[in-house]
Structure 1
Amino acid sequence: MSACTNEREEPEPPPVTNDSLGDWEDTGRYAACELLTTTAMACGDRESFNLTGCDAGSLASVPADGIYTMVYRNDGTATPSIGVGSFRVSADGSLDSYRGAAPTERKVDASTFFLSSTRRQSSTVTLRNSVVGCRAEGNRLYGCYVSCRNGRANGAGTFLAERWTRRAGEAEASGLALLSESFVEQGFPVDIYVTQGHAYVVSTPDGVEAGGLTVFDVSNPAAPVLKARTSLPNDNYWNGVWAKGNALYVASANSGVMVFDITSPASPQLLKSVPSGRGQIDVHTVFVEGERLYAMSPSPSPRTLIFDIQQPLEPRLLGEYAEPGAATDARVGFPHDALAFEGVLYINHWSSGYLMVDVSNPESPKKVGTYTYPYATSHANAVGKFGDRRIAFEGGESWGAHLRVLDVTDPAQPKRLGEYKLEANASIHNMVLKGERLYIAYYHHGVRVLDVSVPESPKEVAYYNTFREMDPGRGQGFYEGAIGMRVPGDGYVYVIDTSRGLLIFPEP
């Protein structure tokens, strides 16, 4: 390069560690059926599928009463993409549900399995979703699906559905005893924070029911007392919550981070939303470490916002980290959750994997390493010191999502040490590390407690199966069961179950 030019060499991009072990492995199409490309039948009709290669006789073995979780494999992309869902069937059809609503068409008998739901999204948009069975093996059903918009297919492929059952040999609980249970009457409860003797539960909308904030006095964990409910008419998709001092931070899909004053813990007072002056901003999760607040925003432009909270009620924006390409390419993903530890911010960036970002200078964060894997849905993590090693626990949120144990002592060269995996038809969700115990909210598999004193070999030491088929709202979607969790160090484990609400357990 000439000394007379102003050109500067671009810095080397930080290294990426690609692990070959993914949550989901593509074994090809799940069934021999297919959507007919030329048909006089309406999109979504059973007759619009070619079922000539199917084993209709095997469908008689499909359990006709139960909740099924499912994985969709899309036929319409060069590289297979997947999605997840759920349906529920009952012998008399009274409990049937698909895509969160009663099917508008249903035919389930010894040789046929067909569910179809139609709904109006708006005055100009009608959606129809249909699944048809092709063959069955035990508790598994294989078939085809189609998604229709205004009568035209906009997604089709094959699926695998598996009837949910409690894990073989498990009782309701082992090593965990339920102390109290408090129903959350507002929306779909998803997260919790516990401080000043109170539990703050946030909810997202559930159908026509608004989400919001519910406050319980848990000074007596055996008998929580409902103290307050808060919601706003056009701003109530509240998905994450944290606190520092007398400030409560709520992640809003509409207005960023909502700041509540909890000087009176039972009566939160909304003060403001940050950042201001940017219009609508979706913040999905929040995390506090020391005098920093981190807010993970998937839209309108994916990024992690970094605030100074030396004055907890007056967050001040310091900087932000945006993964290159995230604003223009959906395949790059978005920051779903994050955790800061010893100057490094560990970001679960969905399809891009697990990012390690140096935030020692919050005005200019710098990515130092990435750990990723096929079909990544990096969702939650926990990090701690084990001797001289820094160990991270990472989990996705999809079919087959499970726990990975990583050595991140050198964030530029993360190494997988071990894993903890249950059945593929239920996903891991949030996790909390306390010393050598890792607590996991594992959706349909309830609460799992692991001894991670030897990180390479996580050992389950306790569990509680929170999922019960007959609880209200079960079978509406893939993401059901134990979802939110805190272990604040007061001797108790606080868990949010999507149907049952707030569950409190003594620490095992």
Structure 2
Amino acid sequence: MRRLLLRSSLLLVTVAATLAATALPAAACEEHGPHAAAARGTGGPGAEKNVKAVGNVPGAQGAISLRFLQYGARDVMVVSGEFGLRTYDLTADPAAPKLIGQLNMPGMWETEDTELDPVRKRAFLSRDPRAFGGNVGTGESGIYVVDLATPEKPTVLSYVKVPAGHTTSCINDCQYLWTGGPAKSNTMPADWGGRPVWVTDVRDPRKPKVSPNPIELARNDGKTDYVHDVQVDEMGVAWASGRGGVRGYWTAGMHKDPLTGKVRAATPYDPVPYAGGGIKETAAPSKFMHNSFRPVGNRAGDGGGAGHWDNGNLIYATEESFVDGCAGDGVLVIASLEGSYGGEGWRSTPQKPFRLNTVGTWGVAGQEGTDPASADCSAHYFDVQGKILAQSFYAQGTRFLDVGDPTNPKQIAYYRPADAAAWAPYWHRGLAYVADNNRGIDILQLTV
């Protein structure tokens, strides 16, 4: 998409010097995507409807991901990007973030979807092999564990090398991490299409332990392929998205394994398959699913629709894909998990493929507010609040969809600045905070 183990103080000094000395431009998340500069708008007039811009953080150009932490009554926003990590205080005015701390790491690659431990106040920054002048074939990847106990002083607790490094996700309340992507390195098996998931134990944040054995293999009709990102739903099911679809796993507790029919313990290293599988090529021709969301638990009605769809049987997933022209770029896909609870997504082969049934799709091509002069129309990260799904579409800005009827998502508002390079929106305190690689952070308020 877009952009220590801690052995000695000497290592930290060396790493810090490297971080300070190297800088790279932002680039597209996936190897087939455009660079961020090309993903911006045309410079012509922008467009907006039913949304009001109430704030902007222009000093945060290169922002890719942001999250929020609570320190008692204090409200703090944590932003990561190619610059490293920054913290902002939102307590006094959520529309006017105040910079309070920073960890300068120029040359990082994207750091998208950076996750936080809200209890222990830590961030987990992925080092993509393309960071600091590296490349996918030979570059180093890993994880920085950052202490945010004092938000004014973000501090690296440790760094550990990991064979994957595009995104890192919290598992089991941030006691463990699942790290995936990008494309395979030169030393990985020739038949792999991309990097799967490696598991890291971060219960001791100063001494992370990486398992040598990857998981979430054979995900693309029996082929090991690129796992892009992982989201955990409110039931604790971890959903791994990437080339070949979206598959969910139990990572704790006792569960029946649909592949063996036996009840066994699920762990982060040996998860139990739950549901999911490939997305139909008619909905997502690239087969590359970027991230996902399953409305369940306290969010069972959030975007799930009425009646039949309020039972946790939906998976929302983004296809990230760039082709010539807007019409073929990636879309939001809503699919049904019904028929996938028996391990069907793990038995899929090219000869007998299993695909989830598509419920609905939505893309910006031909929609009101779309810039026809820009070909950068792929769907990217999204966030759901109630029945409203906010999603970024790069140069096509941020779109707000009513997904109360998942079979028919409807655009109700949009915000597309002329220079948009929108990566990810986040709902917080009734506002939508948009990480824009060009503009910094736009703070939006719906007016409908």
Q: If each structure's helix is expressed as a fraction of its own residues, which one has the higher value?
A: 2
1:304-315 to structure 2, matched below 5 A, reads: 304-306=197-199
**How much does 1:345 deviate?**
2.2
Residue aligning to 2:6 = none
Q: Residues 343-382 of structure 1: CA distance to partner in whole angstroms, max 9, x if unpaired?
A: 43221113x2323334341231244541132322211211
User: SS state of the match for residue 238, structure 1?
Assistant: coil
User: SS state of the match for residue 59, structure 2?
Assistant: coil
Task: Give the alignment partner of residue 127 of structure 2, picking from 246, 252, 265.
Answer: 252
**How much does 1:238 deviate?**
3.1
Q: What is the identity percentage for the equivalent residue pairs of Structure 1 and Structure 2?
A: 19
| Matching of residue 242 in structure 1 with residue 115 in structure 2 | yes
User: SS state of the match for residue 240, structure 1?
Assistant: coil
**How much does 1:406 deviate?**
0.9
Q: Residues 118-168 of structure 1: CA distance to partner in whole angstroms, max 9, x if unpaired?
A: xxxxxxxxxxxxxxxxxxxxxxxxxxxxxxxxxxxxxxxxxxxxx9598xx
Higher relative contact order (CA 8 A, sep 6+): 2
Residue aligning to 1:68 = none
Task: Give the alignment partner of residue 387 of structure 2, picking from 436, 444, 468.
Answer: 436
Residue aligning to 1:339 = 231
Task: Give the alignment partner of residue 321 of structure 1, picking from 215, 228, 231.
Answer: 215
**How much does 1:417 deviate?**
0.6
Q: Residues 162-197 of structure 1: CA distance to partner in whole angstroms, max 9, x if unpaired?
A: x9598xxx97322221111112356x3211112232
| Matching of residue 506 in structure 1 with residue 445 in structure 2 | yes
**How much does 1:325 deviate?**
8.2
**How much does 1:289 deviate?**
5.8
Task: Give the alignment partner of residue 241 of structure 2, picking from 342, 348, 354.
Answer: 348
**Cα distance in 2, alignment partners of residues 376 and 444 from structure 1:** 22
**How much does 1:234 deviate?**
7.0
| Matching of residue 288 in structure 1 with residue 170 in structure 2 | yes
**Cα distance in 2, alignment partners of residues 216 and 507 from structure 1:** 23
**Cα distance in 2, alignment partners of residues 435 and 420 from structure 1:** 18
Residue aligning to 2:84 = 212
**Cα distance in 2, alignment partners of residues 408 and 314 from structure 1:** 38
> Which letter maps to 2:50?
G
Residue aligning to 1:378 = 289
Query: Unpaired segments of 5 or more residues in structure 2?
Result: 1-30, 129-139, 189-194, 253-265, 305-309, 323-328, 345-355, 367-374
**Cα distance in 2, alignment partners of residues 357 and 182 from structure 1:** 37
Tell me which structure has the larger Cα radius of gyration.
Answer: 1
| Matching of residue 420 in structure 1 with residue 401 in structure 2 | no
> Which letter maps to 1:264?
T
TM-score normalised over the length of structure 2: 0.63
> Which letter maps to 1:492?
L
**How much does 1:312 deviate?**
7.6
Residue aligning to 2:423 = 483
> Which letter maps to 1:203?
G
Q: Residues 30-80 of structure 1: CA distance to partner in whole angstroms, max 9, x if unpaired?
A: xxxxxxxxxxxxxxxxxxxxxxxxxxxxxxxxxxxxxxxxxxxxxxxxxxx
**How much does 1:231 deviate?**
2.6
> Which letter maps to 2:149?
T
Query: Unpaired segments of 5 or more residues in structure 1?
Result: 1-81, 88-96, 101-162, 205-210, 470-479
**How much does 1:83 deviate?**
4.3
| Matching of residue 176 in structure 1 with residue 47 in structure 2 | no
CA RMSD of aligned residues (A): 3.5
Residue aligning to 1:364 = 270
Q: Residues 413-444 of structure 1: CA distance to partner in whole angstroms, max 9, x if unpaired?
A: 63211111221831111011223221111111
**Cα distance in 2, alignment partners of residues 346 and 422 from structure 1:** 25
**Cα distance in 1, alignment partners of residues 141 and 241 from structure 2:** 22
Native 8 Å contact 1:345 1:359 kept in 2? yes
Residue aligning to 1:390 = 313
User: SS state of the match for residue 429, structure 1?
Assistant: coil
**Cα distance in 2, alignment partners of residues 434 and 312 from structure 1:** 32
TM-score normalised over the length of structure 1: 0.56
Q: If each structure's strand is expressed as a fraction of its own residues, which one has the higher value?
A: 1
**Cα distance in 1, alignment partners of residues 157 and 437 from structure 2:** 28
> Which letter maps to 1:379?
H
Native 8 Å contact 2:64 2:110 kept in 1? no
Native 8 Å contact 1:198 1:216 kept in 2? yes
- Report the number of matched residues: 326
Native 8 Å contact 2:164 2:197 kept in 1? no
